[in-house]
Structure 1
Amino acid sequence: MLEIFKEPFVQTALLGGLITACLCAYLGVFMILKRIVFVGIALSQVAALGVALGLFVGVNPVLSAFLLTLAGIILFWIPFTERNISREAFLGFIYVFCAATAIILIAKNPLAEARGLNLISGNLLYTSWPDIGILGIAFLFILALHLLLFKEFIFVSFDRETAFTTGLRTNVIDFLLYLSIGITISLSMKICGVVFVFASLIIPAMVGLISAKRTGMIFFIACASAAACVAIGISLSYMWDFPSGPTIVGLYSLFFILLIGIKTILGKE
Structure 2
Amino acid sequence: MITSFISLVDLFPAAVLSGIIMAVTCAVFGVFVLLRRVVFISIALTECAACGIAAAALLNLPPFLGALLCCLVAVAALAHDWEQQRIPRDAVLGTIFVAAAALSVLLVARSGMGLLEIKARLYGDLILASWADCLLLAIVHLPLLLCVIVLLKAILYSFLDGNAARLMRIPVRTVEFCFFVALGLVVSAASKSGGSMLVFCYLAVVPATALMLSKRLAIVLPLAAVIAVAATLIGLTCSFHYDLPGNQCIIMAATALFIALPTIAAAARLAQRFAVAPDRINTPTD
TM-score range, shorter chain: over 0.9
- 1:243 maps to a residue whose letter is P
Cα shift readout 1:61-115 (whole Å, capped 9, x = no counterpart) = 1111111111111211221156432211211111001000001111121248553
Cα shift readout 1:28-55 (whole Å, capped 9, x = no counterpart) = 0000001111111111111110000000
Other-structure match for 1:229: 231
Which is further off, 63-72 or 245-254?
63-72
- 2:212 maps to a residue whose letter is I
- State the distance in 2 between where 1:148 and 1:226 align: 21
Other-structure match for 2:8: 5
Q: Matches of residues 1-269 of structure 1 in structure 2 within 5 Å? A: 1=3, 2-8=5-11, 10-81=12-83, 83-111=85-113, 115-265=117-267
Query: Aligned pair in 2 of structure 1 residues 62, 113: CA closer, same or farther (>3 Å)?
Result: farther
Other-structure match for 2:281: none
- State the distance in 1 between where 2:67 and 2:6 align: 35
- State the distance in 2 between where 1:123 and 1:178 align: 25
Cα shift readout 1:115-147 (whole Å, capped 9, x = no counterpart) = 331244321111011111111011232133224
Task: List gaps (5 residues or longer) in structure 2.
Answer: 275-286
Cα shift readout 1:146-191 (whole Å, capped 9, x = no counterpart) = 2431211111122123212432101111112112211110111111
TM-score by length of 1: 0.93
Which is further off, 218-227 or 202-211?
202-211
Whichever of the two has the greater Rg, that structure is 2
Identity %: 28
**Alignment coverage as a number of residue pairs:** 268
What value does the CA root-mean-square deviation take over the aligned residues?
Answer: 1.8
Whether the 8 Å CA contact 2:74–2:96 is kept in 1: the answer is no
Give the Å deviation of 1:7: 3.2
Whether the 8 Å CA contact 2:210–2:223 is kept in 1: the answer is yes
- 2:191 maps to a residue whose letter is M
Query: Aligned pair in 2 of structure 1 residues 115, 155: CA closer, same or farther (>3 Å)?
Result: same
Give the Å deviation of 1:232: 1.2
Q: Matched residue of 1:25: which SS? A: helix
Whether the 8 Å CA contact 1:5–1:11 is kept in 2: the answer is yes
Which is further off, 144-153 or 168-177?
144-153
- 2:252 maps to a residue whose letter is G
Whether the 8 Å CA contact 1:41–1:95 is kept in 2: the answer is yes
Whether the 8 Å CA contact 2:9–2:16 is kept in 1: the answer is no
Query: Aligned pair in 2 of structure 1 residues 44, 141: CA closer, same or farther (>3 Å)?
Result: same
- State the distance in 1 between where 2:266 and 2:148 align: 34
Whether the 8 Å CA contact 1:189–1:197 is kept in 2: the answer is yes
Q: Matched residue of 2:6: which SS? A: helix
- 1:195 maps to a residue whose letter is M
Cα shift readout 1:182-241 (whole Å, capped 9, x = no counterpart) = 111011111111110000001110111111222111001100010011111111101111
Task: List gaps (5 residues or longer) in structure 1.
Answer: none
Q: Matched residue of 1:40: which SS? A: helix
- State the distance in 2 between where 1:98 and 1:112 align: 20
